[in-house]
Chains A and B, each alone.
Chain A
Amino acid sequence: MSEDLSIFDIAGPVMVGPSSSHTAGACKIGQFARALFHATPTEVVFYLHGSFGEVYKGHATDRALLGGVMKFQTSDPRIRDAFEIAKEKNLKYEFIVKDLGENAHPNTVKIVLKNENSKMSVTGSSIGGGMIEITKVDNFDVLLHGRAGKYLSLVAQLDHNDECLLNFQKHINKLEDISVAAIDKSDFKKKTLAVISLEGRRIKLSEVIELEKLEGVDFVRSLSKLETQ
């Protein structure tokens, strides 16, 4: 692991069991997929690879993924009831065991989200202790990191130039009590996909909407983090 680790990556996250990689990490990948899709899906298919495919039922990986797609936090007790809640919300779901290739991390899932207007696939891996990586969006290789519990993250799609990202960052730093802890970015279809990890307080919806209005910004989504830690 190259990125500098927090003490609270070890002493944490606080989560709903049973598995940090198969439950908390899975929930986080679901959250990312939903944020990248930036719309409400009506149908979602999960392709489970490796250990995810072998043991997903017992670790509630399926409930956690689905919960994440419904924007549940990793410490949200509703993960237990994710199937029932999805049915109430008319969200169709399916789990399919699939080999995603030799190079895929053992805990990898490809999530395909759909609604009547759009379709997107997001591939992510749970790399241990609740930490995750998003490695593919549609057919584009990306590399974005996420932690199950530590940061509140923003997922944004921006025009592909450094100025745009700098400007974006500048606006975030103007917000009171919020600072940027880390930025991860990847090229994506002549655009930039960025994950901005924030520290401080929770960002307000009105602030997210303001950020989205900036020039060169396609969309911004805020991801939940643990409330209790």
Chain B
Amino acid sequence: MEYQFKTAEEVINLCKKHKISISELAKRYESERSGKSTANVRERMKRTRDVMYEAIQKGIKSNERSKMGMVGGDAKKIYKHINSTSKIMGNKVTLRAMAYATAVGEQNACMRRIVAFPTAGGSGVVPGVLFSCSEHFKAGKRKLLKGMFCASAVGLIIAEGATLSAAKGGCQAEVGAAVAMSAAGLTEMRGGTPEQCFHAAAIALKSYLGLACDPLGGLVEVPCIKRNAIGCMAAIGASDMVICGVTSFIPFDEVVQAMNNIAEIMSPKLRETALGGLAVTKTGNMIKRKLGLKVTTEL
């Protein structure tokens, strides 16, 4: 087995040895482990991309609200301002990324079809960042696939070294992981080296360590969807910093170890149980009562 990896260090070494990018390595990894051709693997990623695209397109046009009525229609609001950037402090790329991420999050909350990339709760960041930036590059779809493969490789390293489950690691494992994955994917799309991709991922993930999973009423709605939107800004920022020459003082593999350590000592109340944090605020408890859930803590 020539292309198998579990850590960033292994990825960087393999990329050097074969003179390939992270996305190419990810493709060969998958081809090798599944026995399928790289063309076949690429086709499957294309279909994944198409589902993401569909969710974005539906989401930015939709006024549908989730069953509890907590979310819905925000993607449309944001997207409407895409050409009035004089009003907006960020730029078109970041605004569009937030609109797309929100679109996917809202589709998910309304029980529509999405790609769990890496999980459903954090499914907005990767399409938000990658689709918006590739539109900016006028890159077409090929580059987008590169970003997706690279992001998947980074997600795989997090799954191996820590976790992608909020029930085990809180929101750092969902939105945090997605932000790190997107930062790396974007960095590769704009021509960064494998090392630079991991610097971007490390800078992004460090900023999300310890993030609690505390959704209102346990629903993947509040704060989840807006966390995905804001996560796009963080991913783009981390990638920009790296392109400016900034590096992460702590290597990515060590950041993943730290994430795992935090997951181990994090209270179960902050791990998808809706027993702490935002879930037990006055508003959170109001939602719980509406759902007929037990209110355990009053702040």
Contacts and interface: CB of A to CB of B under 8 A. Distances in A.
Interface of A: 1, 4-21, 23-24, 50-51, 54-60, 75, 77, 79-80, 105-107, 127-130, 148, 179, 181, 199, 228-229
Contacts of B219: 18, 55, 58-59
Interface of B: 4, 26-27, 29-30, 33-36, 41, 44-45, 47-48, 51, 68, 107-121, 148-149, 151-153, 155-156, 159-160, 163-168, 173, 181, 215, 217-221, 268, 271-275, 291-293
Contacts, number: 178
Given A11-B45, A128-B173, 10 more contacts: A7-B149, A14-B115, A15-B116, A51-B167, A56-B218, A57-B218, A57-B292, A128-B165, A129-B118, A129-B165
Contact of B51 (A10, A24, A179, A228): A228
A6 B33 contact: yes
Contacts of B33: 4, 6
Contacts of A17: 107-114, 120, 220
Nearest to A107: B167
A14 B275 CA distance: 29
Contact of A5 (B120, B159, B173): B159
Nearest to B162: A1
A229 B111 contact: no
15 contacts: A10-B164, A12-B117, A14-B51, A16-B112, A17-B113, A18-B120, A54-B293, A56-B218, A106-B168, A106-B271, A107-B167, A128-B166, A179-B35, A228-B47, A229-B44
B152 to A, nearest CB: 4
A7 B120 contact: no
Contact of A21 (B41, B114, B117, B167): B167
B160 A8 contact: no
A16 B111 contact: yes
Contacts of A58: 68, 215, 217-220, 291
Given A14-B51, A14-B113, A106 B26 contact: no
B159 A10 contact: yes
Contact of A11 (B117, B218, B275, B293): B117
A152 B106 CA distance: 29
A129 B119 contact: yes
Contact of B217 (A8, A55, A80): A55
Contacts of A14: 48, 51, 113-116
A4 B156 CA distance: 10
